[in-house]
Chains A and B, each alone.
Chain A
Amino acid sequence: MSTHDPGGIGAGGEHGDEHLASSGRADSSRADLYMPGAVLEEPAIVDVADVRPELANPELVDAMVAPDRTVHAKVGEPLLQMQNVTVQFGGLVALDDVSFDIRRGEILGLIGPNGAGKTTAFNAMTGVYRPTKGQVVFDGSTVGKLKRYRITQRGIARTFQNIRLFNEMTALENVVVGSDARHRTSVPGALFRTPRHRREERDAIDRALALLEFVGVGGRATEKARNLSYGDQRRLEIARALATEPKLLCLDEPAAGFNPAEKESLMDLIRHIRDDGYTVLLIEHDMRLVRGVTDRIVVLEFGRVIADGTPDEVTSDPKVIAAYLGVPDSELTADEGGTGADRAAGPTTEGGSGDASA
């Protein structure tokens, strides 16, 4: 795995172009890739580092982005524990007695074929679904019946598989909405603009700008979210999630629709986030990306955990190979490929496939 140069993290816009170019259809259909029939125009680009000179220093940006809240779990100890979690939708068992840990300071990959229960597990952690049985313990206490915004305030932040930004807000405002989760003042403070409220607002904006620089969309801070390129929108989602000062950052297929070069720079960003002190849970289809970036992988199939270990252990596990990566033709028996082979995205064949879901 070649390491990208550090500039690549910031080059969100550039990769947008590469994405088009590398998909090999740039000339024929570039206009309708994002917005059919849209008139191409000059976007407003603002140089954040000139407006806020301190943000030109990447170390300072890292320091501003870094989590500063107390986490009870020590580095390496379980931060989130899935304890025998079962999630049922009527008769459908989406998660069946699933147990695994996310340890503080690691990047955990959660993989599995389509319909394996990855997103359900994710939703159970972030409070979208309540477990039918079992419990989710986060940083020493159960997530249980907390309201969803409370769970975010407790320190679990997520991005969405299908991007869900606030489209009519600017990139900066989107991120500040995330920081608002940490605000202490509410309507009375805002109504009369108390000193504390003003301090919080100022801090939120400064941190949001640092976050935008951190993920590499600082130049688009004042652009409406819907006008950002696909890649930048994904990065903006990560920035917005980080703005809530999470202890655990959950990324739901952040590389969906990315080309290999964009994936590469996303991997750098994810590593950078981990190195900055966050714990990351990564749900992803792309084995190359998962193997390249994660410290540990949990494999789900049909709602059960079938493997849990380092990337090398997991990818050499015969059960995983059979279930997820597909059975080689030579070993194929009477069942004509089965479900696994349909979705085979083997590490060697993956690169060219470039995700049709884009």
Chain B
Amino acid sequence: MGGILSCNTKLAEYPYFLGNLGLYIYSMEELCYLLEKHTVLFDESFMRVDLCIWITTQNDRSALGKELKKIMDTNGSLRDFISKLIGSIHYLTMAEQQAVLKALDDNTLLPRGKRIKCRADYLVERKKYVLAVSEYKKALRALEGEQDPGILAAIMHNMGYVYAKLFLFEKAAYYFKKAFALNGDDQSKMQYLASCRFLYQKDLYIEKVVGEFNDEETALLLEEKITKILENSEENVSAAIKEVLFQKEAGLMQAYNESVDELLNKWKESYRISIV
């Protein structure tokens, strides 16, 4: 059996938006948690005046807010800033705080572009796709002149994935193709073909497959996968959709209309989150 910790800060009435993470936070404890779990995602851009103001006004920690502002005004380091912050909120143990500071020190050895890529990957996990694209582009700019094709290919591939999630298949295809050119990875090739499959009419798609890659085998593999998905579509349909279909078949039109509205609103909301 574990224990419980008392909170020495209150929940904010107005949350703070951590732009790099695409996340709203409501408490200092959440901030400390993110600092511990995703230290690599925090850089100098984290030190902001509006964060100090939020800590002062929304968390009743005016002394801490002032001290953090002072660190910024005297050109203090990110390490000093974060050390002061996590040391004032009794959420992380001393050992955990030390681990955060060590991770920060290790981060300084990591190229900036790779750090930005980590941030972008986190945004993809959180389904913040538009923000992720922006970060991946920053990462590419930071890695100009990078000799290791692996990291560049990984970024390209992930960008392709994100664009596909946004139903922007033309851009998805572009980046998957670039990734394949760098890494020769079959996964990138398969995803490129899949993007083209959704983008083009069948004749044009076949022309592209034959014309560009001369790789019928991969194309057939893709077709098999798609066929399997469609065959199993009945099983794959979510319970919510099944419920809607049942209501329609049963003639429960009011319930059907309400369920359709609810489902659509849910999908819209989910899409909205991804483009924030």
- B is a partner of A: no
Residues of B within 8 A of A (CB): none
Residues of A within 8 A of B (CB): none
